[in-house]
């Protein structure tokens, strides 16, 4: 039985990640570091424009978005798309408009825009579209579709806030789909990520423990076999598995798990160790 997580952590991360910054994902998903001194459009060499008016219009819309002037940003992006429907920067404008709509709670229209961005011939732009489409699909309760888009992006983000958003969304969507192992893997990765804030790491570990404590015996058995042994998740799963095996009277399994924990020099309480006696 899977737990039913709240979307609150995902929504908080969306706000903190700067949902209005239209091109940030095009940078964070391509490995181009922030603060590199490059012009925003210079990070997308295959998406340029020869129309200075189009570039200026898009910059104005982005400036409004970055300043939190939501209505102005939406008008600016829509005006750009109407005035420059064939400009190469159209996917960037659609991405920006989609982010504004998502921040306003207009999830379905945002999904439609991100889906268009995801068809871009430029793979980096398409990847940014898939990222935002996946987050939006999760918020729209379309969790399986969200996972299909987001799983391939693990390890692709370089911006800490975007990494938190990706892994938080993966964990929440996976729980809704009953995929406990994937949820634990995402939270484990988040808890071990030294580049993100300590508070985010601690929160991920707390949520990981909650998922373990609320998962049923079959989910714990699957996680025990599937999870890597070098993270934070597997020891928590192993200790829960000991209690479940003891309650089921399976003393052979209790002894086997305790032996593996000892072999890997993973600390456990005296109470758990004594269950194997």
90 in a domain, yes or no? yes
Q: What is the mean pLDDT of the chain?
A: 84
Count structural domains, the chain. 2
Asked if residue 250 has pLDDT above 50, the reply is yes
Residues 238 and 152 in one domain: no
pLDDT digits (tens, 9 = 90+) for 9-50: 655 555 544 443 333 333 233 333 333 222 333 344 357 788
Task: With CA atoms as reference, report the closest residue to 175 among 3, 8, 6.
Answer: 3
With 0-12 CB in 10 A as exposed, 13-18 as middle and 19+ as buried, what is 100?
buried
Residues 124 and 207 in one domain: no
3 in a domain, yes or no? no
Q: What is the pLDDT of residue 42?
A: 32
End-of-domain residue from the set 124, 158, 192: 158
pTM of this prediction exceeds 0.85: no
Q: Domain range for residue 30?
A: 18-158
- Mean pLDDT score, 205-209: 95
165 in a domain, yes or no? no
pLDDT digits (tens, 9 = 90+) for 175-206: 999 999 999 999 999 999 998 889 999 999 99
pLDDT digits (tens, 9 = 90+) for 135-147: 999 999 999 999 9
Q: What is the pLDDT of residue 14?
A: 55
pLDDT digits (tens, 9 = 90+) for 101-130: 998 889 999 999 999 999 998 888 888 899
Residues 167, 210, 191: CA angle, nearest 5 degrees: 40
Give the Cα separation of 152 and 118 in Å (integer).
14
DSSP, collapsed to helix, strand or coil, labels residue 33 as: coil
7 in a domain, yes or no? no
Residues 29 and 120 in one domain: yes
């Amino acid at each position: 039985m899977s737990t039913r997580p709240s979307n609150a952590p995902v929504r908080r991360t969306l706000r903190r990640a700067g949902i209005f910054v239209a091109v940030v994902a095009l940078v964070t998903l391509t490995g181009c570091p922030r603060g590199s001194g490059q012009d925003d459009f210079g990070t997308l060499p295959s998406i340029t424009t020869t129309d200075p008016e189009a570039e200026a219009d898009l910059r104005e819309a982005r400036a409004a978005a970055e300043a939190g002037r939501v209505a102005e940003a939406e008008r600016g992006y829509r005006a750009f798309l109407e005035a420059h429907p064939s400009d190469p920067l159209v996917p960037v404008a659609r991405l920006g408009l989609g982010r504004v709509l998502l921040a306003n709670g207009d999830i379905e229209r945002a999904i439609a825009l991100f889906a268009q961005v995801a068809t871009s011939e430029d793979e980096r732009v398409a990847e940014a579209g898939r990222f935002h489409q996946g987050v939006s699909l999760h918020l729209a309760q379309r969790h399986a579709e969200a996972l299909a888009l987001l799983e391939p992006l693990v390890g692709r983000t370089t911006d800490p806030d975007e990494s938190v958003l990706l892994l938080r969304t993966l964990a929440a969507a996976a729980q809704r789909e009953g995929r406990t192992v994937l949820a634990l893997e995402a939270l484990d990765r988040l808890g071990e990520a030294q580049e993100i804030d300590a508070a985010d790491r601690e929160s991920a570990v707390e949520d990981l423990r909650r998922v373990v404590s609320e998962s049923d015996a079959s989910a714990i058995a699957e996680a025990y076999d599937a999870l890597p042994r070098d993270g934070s998740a597997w020891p928590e799963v192993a200790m829960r598995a000991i209690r479940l095996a003891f309650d089921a009277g399976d003393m052979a399994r209790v002894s086997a798990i305790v032996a593996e924990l000892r072999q890997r020099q993973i600390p456990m309480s005296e109470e758990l160790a004594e269950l194997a006696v």
